[in-house]
Amino acid sequence: MHAGIIRLSSAIVPCADHRTGLSTPGDPQLNNGLLYAITVLIWGSTWFAIEFQLGAVAPEVSVAYRYLGAAALLFIWCKYKGLSLTFHLKSHRWFALMGLFMFCLNYILAYRAQIHITSALSAIAFSAMLWMNILNARWFFGVRVGPRIYLGAALGVAGIVVLFGPRVGELSLTDDVLFGSVLAVTGALMASFGNMASQAAQRTRLPVMQSNAWSMLYGGLLTTAIALAQGHSFNFDLSAGYVISLVYLTIFGSVIAFGAYLTLLGRIGAHRAGYATVAFPVVALTLSMIFEDLALDGFIVTGFVLVLAGNLLVLRDR
């Protein structure tokens, strides 16, 4: 996977200006390859963390805890760095859209989906976001991609199907599985719309970190309103699994990973940054082989090769 980002990371790329949060050229520690690796590695590990969030606490409440906590951390960080948090009303419309699609509806649907389907089937469904980003980028921004992007996207999704196909094949197509699959695909669509809102916001020169702070706040508040409307109680699970996974999802899965991913999205476009949604299930499966004694077989090897080949085509396309 890292080989596919060598050319991408070799270009001159921006780094954050501490006063405005905008980008200035030349910081090698914030190159695109590193941002991509951070996104894939962290999100690849959050599959396990989400499993610990499902149980005693309603998914909507867990999502609200996650993003209200992430927003609080980002506001503190921005204040510490002296970044301005004052924006015009028009900017807040972008923040609200990002919060609604990316940090509210996307995760409510994703958490709900994993109640009904396995993480393997959820991975296949969510990988559709890559194609959604390609189509939405063309629809909203007129971005036309070359044949390498289409071929790379096809190889990546095919690799995910090969990787997880045997695990999904054991499932029967019940109403519950079908419902969970629809939730997962709809969640991917909401995430893609959030990607478009973020890309549009960055085109107006809105800085990523402050945008994320406001967007996560809006997302957390909207999720809280949905949870209250559904009659959920805001209880809390004090078990170690729930607390540790919530902290990990809040700090790493939200603050750090979204900061890296949305910065990357602004630089190379949603149609290419979206390949992370295909790559991070591969990380999740690798962790299963390391920690859960998942046996290496022909399906896994073939799937890895297909995803890597797609990675090379998408990220090296100019």
Residue 219, in any domain of the structure: yes
Q: How does the average pLDDT of the chain come out, rounded?
A: 82
Residue 16, in any domain of the structure: no
pLDDT in tens, 178-214: 788 889 889 999 999 999 999 999 999 999 999 999 9
Residue 23, in any domain of the structure: no
* pLDDT for residue 10: 30
Return the structure tokens found at 254: 């939200």
- In terms of phi and psi (left: phi > 0; alpha: psi -120 to 50; beta: otherwise), the region of 80 is alpha
Residue 229, in any domain of the structure: yes
Number of domains in the chain: 1
- Would the pTM count as exceeding 0.85? no
Residue 211, in any domain of the structure: yes
Q: How many CB atoms lie within 10 A of CB 105?
A: 23
pLDDT average, residue stretch 15-30: 38
Please check whether residue 160 is in contact with residue 278, taking contact to mean a CB–CB distance below 8 angstroms: yes
* pLDDT for residue 309: 85
Residue 3, in any domain of the structure: no
pLDDT average, residue stretch 286-313: 78
Tell whether the model's pLDDT for residue 263 goes beyond 50: yes
Tell me the CB-side half-sphere exposure of residue 73, using CA atoms within 13 A: 19
* pLDDT for residue 109: 94
Residue 251, in any domain of the structure: yes
Tell whether the model's pLDDT for residue 255 goes beyond 90: yes
Return the residue matching tokens 């005693």.
Answer: 56
Residue 89 binned pLDDT confidence (cut-offs 50, 70, 90) = very high
- Give the rounded percent of residues in the chain with a pLDDT score beyond 90: 43
Residue 270 binned pLDDT confidence (cut-offs 50, 70, 90) = confident
Residue 281 binned pLDDT confidence (cut-offs 50, 70, 90) = confident
What single-letter DSSP state applies at residue 231? T
pLDDT in tens, 201-251: 999 999 999 999 999 999 999 999 999 999 999 999 999 999 999 999 999
In this structure, the dihedral spanned by the alpha carbons of residues 235, 238, 239 and 243, taken in order and rounded to 10 degrees, is 90
What's the CA gap between 145 and 156, in Å, rounded? 16
* Residues making up the chain, counted from first to last: 318
Residue 1, in any domain of the structure: no
Domain of residue 150, residue span? 29-316
Tell whether the model's pLDDT for residue 42 goes beyond 50: yes
By CB atoms closer than 10 A (0-12, 13-18, 19+), residue 15 is: middle
- Give the rounded percent of residues in the chain with a pLDDT score beyond 70: 85
